Amino acid sequence: MHNFLREWQGELKRVFTGSADALPEWVPRLADGNDAGYHLPGSAVWAVHGSMTPIVAGIRALLMQSLHPAALAGIHEHSDFRADPLRRLARTIQWIFTVTYGSTAAAEQASARVRRLHVPVQGSYSDRHGVRHTYSANDPDLARWVHLAFVDAFLAAHKIWGGSIPGGPDAYVREWAQAGRLMGVEDPPLSEAEMKLQLDSYYSNGELLADSRVAETVGFIRNPPLHPMLRPGYRIVFAGAVYSLEPRFRQMLGLKVPRLGPFPLPVRLATKVTLGVVRFALGRGPGPSEQAARRRLRRLGYQAG
């Protein structure tokens, strides 16, 4: 039993860090830098990103982002997500945690690196009327959609399964707007209402599209090539992500809230239990990225709380 638990913990760590044992080299470097960074202990961003709810939010964000044909074209035509999805996940986690916990220089450098990687991500796609359009991953409007889908997902998941948010949802939207700016989003929303209004505009303007490529992507997200030990938990977390979607987007994606066996726990409760188990497996204290940030803050004389 002990060996099983250790192997399961190792596979969990591999999913989130790329290694079952060693920390990624970028995590200790979050202790470097000469300022507090964009976000501090007690912020809405630290509360949301330091919880377990991003596990569900990340899946929901991917589902939502796939509804924009330009975003989906970029992923399918310029990404190795099928061959090595965990590598892509590790890169995304690195950017999120660096902007969340790093110095301003680290956050800016990480975002600039992502934007450089996006430079060759260009091409064309067809809209719902068959009209061809060009796209670029660094296009401000496309970056806005990705940012909105992220913020909406992380807020929705945390409202259902997380604790309180210092300052409320508006504080999270306002604080994480800085991440949007770093990624080229012009005038990102600063309140939940504004975020929802902008998200609605993509839907009402007919910019979103559900086609066979979306169905293929949803199928991959539903059943990624995970270690068999992780699949039962992932099935529950995926169900949670589907549960958290607005019905109109769930319908576009061709999804229904799954049944979890013949005598299932409600999806909401099952997801809560699963996140609790993951929290126990990874350790109940602050994660390595937060610990590194607190070391930097103590060195600089900030009251880290």
Residue where the block lists tokens 């504004």? 194
CA distance 56 to 59: 5
Q: Are 245 and 63 in contact (CB under 8 A)?
A: yes
Neighbours of 2 (CB within 10 A): 6
Domain extents in the chain? 2-300
Radius of gyration of the chain, Cα coordinates, nearest whole angstrom: 19
DSSP category for residue 183: T
* Residue 222: its H or E element: helix 212-222
Q: End-to-end distance of the chain based on CA atoms, in angstroms?
A: 38
Contacts of residue 3, defined as CB under 8 A and 6 or more positions apart, other chains included, come to none
pLDDT in tens, the chain (305 residues): 556 667 766 677 677 766 666 688 999 999 999 999 999 999 999 999 999 999 999 999 999 999 999 999 988 887 766 666 767 788 899 999 999 999 999 999 999 999 999 999 999 988 888 889 999 999 999 999 999 999 999 999 999 999 999 999 999 999 999 999 999 999 999 999 999 999 999 999 999 999 999 999 999 999 998 888 889 999 999 999 999 999 999 999 999 988 776 656 799 999 999 999 999 888 778 899 999 999 999 999 986 55
